[in-house]
Amino acid sequence: MLPAVATWRLLLTNSSMPTENPLFDKAETQLIVATIQEAEKRTSGEIKVHIEAQCPDEDVMERAKVVFGELSLHNTKDRNGVLFYLAHQDRKFAVLGDKGIYEKVPQDFWESTKEKLRAHFKKNEFAEGLCEGIEEAGQQLWTYFPFQSDDTNELPDDVSFGRK
């Protein structure tokens, strides 16, 4: 798996945000979920977003791999899951794809997705960045893993939250 890893400068200015979701208000969370659902309508692939305050591992990609497993992204039929992982207090993120998608997408997909996320995150546009990344992942998944009539949604489309 070729990771897309980066850090960004985080400037949280609204301390009244809920502690379980310090980056997104309800509407932004719903927008992210809707973007996941829309992307997955055209593909057998699965997309997940996971948010934590801090990355417990020195290497964000190692943590993303653990979360990938905890969320069962590796158990998809075609091994075509994609994880967007953010550790907001540590200003780190990773985009991780399973073997099925990694072997099919162009190598620059991971780097271009990372750069789009980084550009939005630098402007504190977290929901917008994730939505753009999800749309891009959805396009790649659709290209290589189009929806089939017998496909099922293998994983929940929610945003998951880890350690605070």
> Structural domains in the chain?
4-9+29-145 (3.10.310.50)
Range scoring the smallest mean pLDDT among 9-13, 56-60, 155-159: 9-13
| Cα gap 115→113, rounded to integer Å | 5
Give percent of the chain with pLDDT exceeding 90. 60
The rounded mean pLDDT for the chain is: 85
DSSP string, the chain: ---EEEE-------TTS-TT-SS--HHHHHHHHHHHHHHHTTBS-EEEEEEESS-SSSSHHHHHHHHHHHTTGGGSTTS-EEEEEEETTTTEEEEEE-HHHHTTS-THHHHHHHHHHHHHHHTT-HHHHHHHHHHHHHHHHHHHSB--TT----S--SEEE---
> Kindly report the CA angle at 49 between 130 and 25, in degrees rounded to 5?
65
Contact 161, 20 (CB under 8 A): yes
- pLDDT for 21 equals 65
- pLDDT for 91 equals 85
pTM of the model: 0.85
pLDDT-derived band at 98, boundaries 50, 70, 90: very high
Q: Is pLDDT of 47 > 80? A: yes
Mean pLDDT in residue range 83-92: 90
